Amino acid sequence: MSVKEIFETMDYGPAPESAAEALAWLVDQGDRFGHFINGAFTTPGEGFDSRNPATGEVLATLSQATQDDVDAAVAAARSAQPKWEQLGGAGRARHLYAIARLLQKHSRLFAVLESLDNGKPIRESRDIDIPLAQRHFYYHAGMAQLKDSELPEAQALGVCGQIIPWNFPLLMLAWKIAPALAMGNTVVLKPAEYTSLTAMLFADICQQAGLPKGVVNIVTGDGAVGEMIVAAEVDKIAFTGSTAVGQRIREATAGSGKELTLELGGKSAYVVFDDADIDSAIEGLVDAIWFNQGQVCCAGSRLLVQEGIADRFYDKLRARMDGLRIGNPLDKCIDVGAVVDPVQLQTIQTMVENNTAGEMHQVSCVLPENGCYYPPTLITGLETSDPLMQEEIFGPVLVASTFRTPAEAVELANNTRYGLAATVWTENVNLALDIAPKLVAGVVWINATNLFDAAAGFGGVRESGFGREGGWEGLTAYTKPKGTAKALAPVEAVSGEGAPHDPLDRTAKMYVGGKQARPDSGYSRAIWGKSGLLGHVGLGSRKDVRNAVEAAAGAKGWAKATGHLRAQILYYIGENLSARADEFAHRIDAMTGKKGGAKEVETSIQRLFSAAAWADKYDGQVHGVPIRGVALAMKEPTGVIGALCADEAPLLGLVSVMAPAIAMGNRVVLAASEPYPLAATDFYQILETSDVPAGVVNILTGVHADLAKPLASHLNVDAVWSFSSTDLSAQIEKASAGNLKRTWVNNATATDWNVDHSKRFLQAATEIKNIWVPYGE
Amino acid sequence: METQSPERTAQLPQLTEPRNPGTALDLDWVRAVQANTSAIERRAATLSGRRSVKKDYQAAWLLKAVTLIDLTTLSGDDTVGRVRRLCSKARQPVSPALLDAMEMPAITTGAVCVYHDMIETAVTALKGTGIPVAAVSTGFPAGLSPFHLRLAEIEESVKAGAEEIDIVISRRHVLSGNWQALYDEMKAFRAACGDAHVKAILATGELGSLRNVARASLICMMAGADFIKTSTGKESVNATLPVTLVMIRAIRDYYDRTGYRVGYKPAGGISKAKDALVYLALIKDELGDRWLQPDLFRFGASSLLGDIERQLEHHVTGAYSAGYRHSMG
| ipTM score | 0.96
Which of A237, A263, A289 marks a domain boundary?
A263
Same domain, A142 and A250: yes
What mean pLDDT do residues A313-330 have?
A: 98
Closest CA to A612 of A679, A647, A562, A539: A562
- Residue A772 lies inside a defined structural domain of this protein: no
CATH code for the domain in which residue A605 is found: 3.40.605.10
Closest CA to B108 of B125, B86, B129: B129
What mean pLDDT do residues A551-567 have?
A: 98
Report the pLDDT value the prediction gives residue B136, as an integer from 0 to 100.
98
Same domain, A429 and A465: yes
**Range scoring the smallest mean pLDDT among A451-455, A493-497, A668-672:** A493-497
Residues near A775 by Cβ (< 8 Å), separated by ≥ 6? A628, A629, A630, B38
Closest CA to A185 of A285, A259, A119: A259
Type of residue at A381: G
Which of A263, A293, A312 marks a domain boundary?
A263
A372 is catalytic: no
Same domain, A253 and A282: no
Say how many C-beta atoms besides its own lie within 10 A of residue A83's C-beta.
13
Report the pLDDT value the prediction gives residue B215, as an integer from 0 to 100.
98
- Residue A768 lies inside a defined structural domain of this protein: no
What mean pLDDT do residues A337-363 have?
A: 97
Instruction: Identify the active-site residue in A263, A469, A473, A636.
Output: A263
Q: How far apart are CA A541 and CA B115, in angstroms?
A: 91
Q: A669 near A770, Cβ under 8 Å?
A: no
Same domain, A585 and A523: yes
Higher confidence at residue A298 or residue A501?
Answer: A298
A263 is catalytic: yes
Q: Which of A5, A7, A283 sits opposite B43 (nearest CB)?
A: A283
What mean pLDDT do residues A255-265 have?
A: 97
Q: A133 near A239, Cβ under 8 Å?
A: no
Report the pLDDT value the prediction gives residue B11, as an integer from 0 to 100.
62
Q: Which of B42, B54, B60 sits opposite A7 (nearest CB)?
A: B60
Same domain, A250 and A311: no
Direct distance between the N- and C-terminal alpha carbons of chain A, in angstroms, rounded to an integer: 44
Q: How far is B282 from chain A (nearest CA, A)?
A: 11
Report the pLDDT value the prediction gives residue B9, as an integer from 0 to 100.
44
Catalytically active residues of B are 166, 229, 265
- Residue A39 lies inside a defined structural domain of this protein: yes
- Residue A478 lies inside a defined structural domain of this protein: no
Q: How far is B285 from chain A (nearest CA, A)?
A: 6
Report the pLDDT value the prediction gives residue A525, as an integer from 0 to 100.
93
Same domain, A235 and A340: no
Helix (H) or strand (E) holding A471: helix A471-475
Q: Where are the domains of chain B?
A: 6-11+25-317
**Structural domain span for residue A93:** 20-51+58-263
Q: How far apart are CA A66 and CA A478, in angstroms?
A: 27
Report the pLDDT value the prediction gives residue B2, as an integer from 0 to 100.
39
CB burial string B190-228: b at 16+ within 10 A, e below: bebbeebbbbbbbbbbbbebbbbbbbbbbbbbbbbbbbb
CB burial string B301-327: b at 16+ within 10 A, e below: bbebbbbbbbbbbebbeeeebeeeebe
Report the pLDDT value the prediction gives residue A497, as an integer from 0 to 100.
79
Q: How far is B221 from chain A (nearest CA, A)?
A: 19
Report the pLDDT value the prediction gives residue B12, as an integer from 0 to 100.
64
Optimal mutation site among A1, A5, A7, interface B, most CBs of chain B within 10 A: A7
Residue A418 has pLDDT above 50, yes or no: yes
Q: Which of A275, A279, A447 sits opposite B38 (nearest CB)?
A: A447
Residues near A96 by Cβ (< 8 Å), separated by ≥ 6? A137, A138, A140, A141, A144, A178, A181, A182
Q: How far apart are CA A665 and CA A173, in angstroms?
A: 35
Number of structural domains, chain A?
3
Type of residue at A430: N
Q: What is the mean pLDDT of chain A?
A: 97
Q: How far apart are CA A213 and CA A208, in angstroms?
A: 12
User: What number of CA atoms fall less than 13 Å from residue A347's CA on the CB side?
Assistant: 13
- Residue A77 lies inside a defined structural domain of this protein: yes
Same domain, A254 and A273: no
- Which spans in A323-460 are helix H? 342-353, 387-390, 406-413, 429-438
B6-11+25-317 domain in CATH 3.10.620.30? no
Q: How far apart are CA A451 and CA A298, in angstroms?
A: 10
How large is the C-alpha radius of gyration of chain A? 28
Say how many C-beta atoms besides its own lie within 10 A of residue B240's C-beta.
20
A101-130 residues touching B, CB cutoff 8 A = 123, 126-127
C-alpha distances out from residue A497 to A182, A238, A248, Å: 59, 52, 48
Same domain, A350 and A434: yes
In DSSP terms, A47 is beta-bridged to: A63
Report the pLDDT value the prediction gives residue A329, as an integer from 0 to 100.
98
Query: Which ranges of chain B have pLDDT less than 50?
Result: 1-9
Residues of chain A positioned with their CB less than 8 A from the CB of B313: none
For chain B, the residues whose C-beta falls within 8 A of a C-beta of chain A are 34-43, 46, 49-57, 59-61, 63-64, 102-105, 209-211, 249, 280-281, 284-285, 289, 292
- Residue A496 lies inside a defined structural domain of this protein: no
pLDDT tens digits for range A201-256: 999 999 999 999 999 999 999 999 999 999 999 999 999 999 999 999 999 999 99
Q: B224 near B200, Cβ under 8 Å?
A: no
| Band of residue A496 on the pLDDT scale cut at 50, 70, 90 | confident
Q: How far apart are CA A473 and CA A478, in angstroms?
A: 10
Question: By the CB < 8 Å criterion, does A12 face chain B?
Answer: yes
pLDDT tens digits for range A437-488: 999 999 999 999 999 999 999 999 999 999 999 999 999 999 999 998 899 9
Same domain, A296 and A195: no
- How many inter-chain contacts (A to B, CB under 8 Å) are there? 102
Same domain, A519 and A464: no
Helix (H) or strand (E) holding A567: helix A563-579
Q: B133 near B161, Cβ under 8 Å?
A: yes
| Band of residue A365 on the pLDDT scale cut at 50, 70, 90 | confident
Residues of chain B positioned with their CB less than 8 A from the CB of A284: 39
Optimal mutation site among A10, A311, A317, A452, interface B, most CBs of chain B within 10 A: A10
| Share of residues in chain A with pLDDT > 90 (%) | 97
Residues of chain A positioned with their CB less than 8 A from the CB of B248: none
Same domain, A419 and A519: no
Residues near A585 by Cβ (< 8 Å), separated by ≥ 6? A597, A598, A600, A601
Is the N-terminal amide bond of A481 cis, ω within 30° of 0? no
Which of A201, A230, A263 marks a domain boundary?
A263
Helix (H) or strand (E) holding A700: strand A697-700
What mean pLDDT do residues A669-688 have?
A: 98
Residues of chain B positioned with their CB less than 8 A from the CB of A279: 249
Instruction: Identify the active-site residue in A160, A206, A297, A298.
Output: A297
Residues of chain A positioned with their CB less than 8 A from the CB of B49: 123, 126-127
